Amino acid sequence: MTEQSRIASRFKASAAVPQGLANCPVRNVLDQIGDKWSTLFISLLGEKPHRFGELRRAVPDISQRMLTQTLRDLQRDGLVSRHVYPTVPPSVEYRLTPLGQSLLEPLSHLIRWAETHHAAIRTARGEFQRQAA
């Protein structure tokens, strides 16, 4: 059994206790960083600290509401820190914490995979639709 084939057991680590799967550490963490926006902002902040408005302009298709919420969730998880400068109007800067930076490395593997295989996935999607029609 290769190391990869054991991945599933990591998800099931807590399956013994009630609601164990929902509390599984891996799912717990991946549910957050695997949402629609988190990885994108972690990548942007990995480049350099950004202000709120910079992030909004960098990702025009997020609503301000979700941007606020995503940043707060990342902050809550200790991946991002928030710094308010008492200028007028006040400006707010977001940065990766060391914990957030440590995520850049494994994330980069996933991104490399996506770059390498997105053509194959597009082909598969086309194929699938052709068969459905």
Partner DNA sequence: TGACTATGGTCTCAAAATGAGAGCAGGGTA
Partner DNA sequence: TACCCTGCTCTCATTTTGAGACCATAGTCA
Q: Does 11 bind DNA (CB under 7 A)?
A: no
Range 33-52, binding a copy of itself (CB under 8 A): 33-36, 39-40, 43-44, 46-48
Q: Does 35 bind DNA (CB under 7 A)?
A: yes
User: d(Cα 56, Cα 54) in Å, to the nearest integer?
Assistant: 5
Q: Which of 50, 51, 96 is nearest to 77 (CA)?
A: 96
What's the burial of 33, exposed, middle or buried (CB within 10 Å: 0-12/13-18/19+)?
Answer: middle
Q: Does 58 bind DNA (CB under 7 A)?
A: no
Name the strand (E) or helix (H) holding 125: helix 98-132
19 vs 87 by CB, closer to a copy of itself: 19
User: d(Cα 14, Cα 19) in Å, to the nearest integer?
Assistant: 8
Range 77-96, binding a copy of itself (CB under 8 A): 77-79
Residue 51: which of a copy of itself, DNA, none does it interact with, CB under 5 to 8 A by kind? DNA
User: d(Cα 74, Cα 94) in Å, to the nearest integer?
Assistant: 10
Residue 82: which of DNA, a copy of itself, none does it interact with, CB under 5 to 8 A by kind? DNA
Query: Given the DSSP bridges, would you call strands 91-96 and 80-85 parallel, antiparallel or unpaired?
Result: antiparallel
Residue 123: which of DNA, a copy of itself, none does it interact with, CB under 5 to 8 A by kind? a copy of itself
Binding positions for DNA, rule: CB under 7 A: 35-36, 51-53, 61-66, 68-69, 71, 82, 88-92
